[in-house]
Chain A
Amino acid sequence: MITVHNLTAGYGKLEILQDLSLSFGAEQFSAVLGPNGSGKSTLMKAIMGINTIFGGSVQLAGRELIGMPTEAIAGLGIAYVPQRENIFDELTVLENLQLGMRSLSPERRVAALKELLELFPILGRRRGQRAGLLSGGEHQMLAIAIAWLSRPQLMLLDEPSAGLAPAVALEVFGVLQELGQQGITLIVVEQNARRILQYCDQAFVLREGQLAFQGTAAECLGDEETIKWYLGVH
C-alpha cells in the first residue's frame, strides 16, 4: 500500500532517515519501533510531507507523495495523528469532530457521528466541553477520532500511548485493534514495543535512520538480538 524507496529525510539540513526502503501492506497493522532518534517520527512526517525530503520516494498505491502539499496527502485518505498538539484544544470536542469530518457529505456525517459514539462513547458525553480540558486518555481518543472521522484508508499514529496510564494505553490499543478490523491500514510508531507487538501484524525496527529488522510481530518478539539491543525490553 505504502512503499518507501531510498528515502533520505530529516529537518532543515539534518538527515535522519538514510536511504530507507520498506513497504507497508494494505489492511495491515504495522508497528514502527526503535530507540529514540532512530527516525520513527521522521518517517511518519516524511509520508505526510511535513519535513525535509533530501531524496527517494514515497508511493501510495503507485502514486508519488513526495512534493505534494500535506493537505493534498490528507485528501488521498491518509490520516495522521501527531504525538503532540494533535487536537484543537481551544475548540470544543464537537467542533474538533466536525473538523475531522469536514470532507464527508452531510448524510455520511450523520452515520459517522453515530458510529463514533459507539466507538468513543466518552466523546459524546464531552461534546460541549473545551477539548483542552480533556484528560490524557480522552485527549488521545479525540485525536484518533478526528483522524478516523475523515474515513481514511491509512492511519499513521505517532506514539498514541505516550504519557498515558497503562490501563488507558490498553484502551487506546483496543480502539486501534478495532480500527484495524474495520479494514483500515495502521502504521503506529511506539516506544512500548512489547505492548504494541501484542496487537500488530508487522513490525519494522529502525536504527539510526535505517531498517534494522522487518518481520511479523511474532518474529520480532522471537528475535532476541532485536529485542535486547534495539527495543530495550527484556
Chain B
Amino acid sequence: MPPALLTTSLVNSIQIGSLYALMALGITLTFSVMKLPNFAHADYFTAGAYAALIVSLSGAQNPIAIMSAAFLVGALTALLSHLAVFKPLESREVSLYTLILASFAVGLIIRYILFTMADYFNLFDLRIGIPLQVLYREGFLILSNIFAWVVPTTIALVILLTLLLNATPLGREMRALANNINLARVIGIPVERVKNSTWLLVGGLAGVAGALWSLQTAVNPLMGWAAIISVFAAAILGGLSSFSGTIIGAYVVAFSENTVILFLNYSFGLDLAYKPAIPFIIIIAVLLIRPGGFTQLLKRGGKLQR
C-alpha cells in the first residue's frame, strides 16, 4: 500500500471516526438513559446539517455560529420527537420493539420533511460555503482546515460531555436514571425533566456532528441514514453503555472503513465496493463473539460508564 494513500486514509479515519464518535455517544446516552436504540438519531444529524447549510447560505461564515444553529435544531428535533412520539408510547408501556419501530418511523418523518424542504428551496447536494484550505503539509501528510475543525471540536465536546456527566448535578441525575429509573423517581428526581435534557443533549450532539460532516461533503436528506449503521456499529462495539468504549469503537469502525479496506484492496484485490459491508460485519461479529463490546474488554461492566 503506497505511503501517501496510507497517510491519507489514516487522516480520514481520524476525521470520520471523530464524527462517528459524536453521533455514537448520543446513541449510547439515549440507550443508557432512555433504554431506546434510536434509529431516528440519524435524522437529527441530517437536520443539524441542513441547519448548518441554511445558516451558511444566509451569509454566516463563522463556524461557531453554524455549529450553534446545528446544535439548536438537532436538540429541538430530538426533544420534539420525544414529546410527540416516544413519551406517549412509553406512557402506554409499549414493548421495546414497538419503540424501535417508532424510531424508524420518526426518522422517516424527519427525513421526508427535509426532502420536502430541500425540494421546495432547492437545497440538494449543496456544500457549506467554508472553502477548503490546506493548513499543514509534511511529506504525504496533508491536514486541512476541516480536519482542524472536526477533531478538536470532537475532543472538546467529549471532554465537556464527560464533565457534564460526572461533575454536575444534571449529569449525576442522568447517570442515576441510567442506573435505576424507579429509584430515581422514588427519591424525587424529576425524571421527565432529566429525560428532556438528555434528548436536547443527544440531539444537539448529533446536530453538531451533522454540521461538521457537512464541512467535508455535500448535504442531502439521506446523509444521516447513510451513516447510521456505521454509527450503531461503533456504539455496539462500546457495548451501548460505555463512553470510552464507544469512542474507541467509532475510530475502529472508521479505521476499518478507510484504511483496512484499502489495505485489503491493495494486498488481496478485495473490491472497494465491499466497504458498506464492514459495519454489518462488525455488528454481527461483536454480537456473536463479545456482545458487551469494549466495555467487557475493559472489565468495567455496568450501565453508563465514563
**Could you tell me which A residues sit within 8 Å of B by CB distance?**
48, 50, 69-71, 74-75, 79-80, 82, 85-91, 95, 98-100, 102-103, 132, 146-147, 150
Contact = CB atoms under 8 A, between A and B. Distances in A.
B156 interface: no
Contact of B172 (A70, A85, A95): A95
B302 A74 contact: no
B189 A71 contact: yes
Nearest to A143: B183
Given A95-B172, A100-B187, 7 more contacts: A50-B185, A70-B186, A79-B187, A88-B175, A88-B180, A90-B178, A90-B304
12 contacts: A71-B191, A74-B186, A74-B187, A75-B188, A82-B183, A87-B180, A88-B175, A89-B180, A90-B178, A90-B304, A91-B172, A95-B175
Nearest to B178: A90
B200 to A, nearest CB: 20
Given A82-B183, A95-B172, A98-B172, A90 B302 contact: yes
Contact of B175 (A50, A70, A90, A146): A90
A75 B185 CA distance: 10
A70 B185 contact: yes
A150 B187 CA distance: 8
Q: For chain B, what secondary structure do more than half of its interface residues adopt (helix, strand, loop), or is it mixed?
A: helix
Interface in B159-180: 169, 172-173, 175-176, 178-180
Contacts of B190: 71
A132 B180 CA distance: 12
Contact of B303 (A71, A90, A99): A90
A102 B177 CA distance: 14
A85 B182 contact: yes
Given A85-B180, A89-B179, A91-B175, A102 B303 contact: no
Contacts of A86: 183
Contact of B187 (A90, A91, A99): A99
A91 B183 contact: no
Contacts of A50: 182, 185-186
Given A90-B303, A90-B304, A95-B172, A71 B188 contact: yes
B176 A99 contact: yes
B238 to A, nearest CB: 16
B176 A88 contact: yes
A102 B171 CA distance: 13
Contacts of A90: 175, 178-179, 302-305
Given A91-B175, A95-B172, A71 B183 contact: no
A150 B212 CA distance: 44
A100 B189 CA distance: 9
Contacts of A80: 186
Contacts of B172: 91, 95, 98-99
Contacts of A132: 302
Interface string B276-306: 0000000000000000000000000011110
Contacts of A82: 182-183, 186
A39 B184 CA distance: 24
Nearest to B301: A90
Contacts of B175: 88, 90-91, 95
Nearest to A70: B185
A48 B186 contact: yes
B186 A102 contact: no
Contacts of B191: 71
A85 B173 CA distance: 16
A132 B304 CA distance: 14
Contacts of A98: 169, 172
Given A90-B175, A90-B302, A91-B175, A99 B189 contact: yes
A89 B179 CA distance: 7
B173 A88 contact: no
Contacts of B169: 98, 102
A100 B183 CA distance: 11
A44 to B, nearest CB: 10
A35 B178 CA distance: 34
Given A99-B172, A99-B173, A102-B169, A91 B179 contact: yes
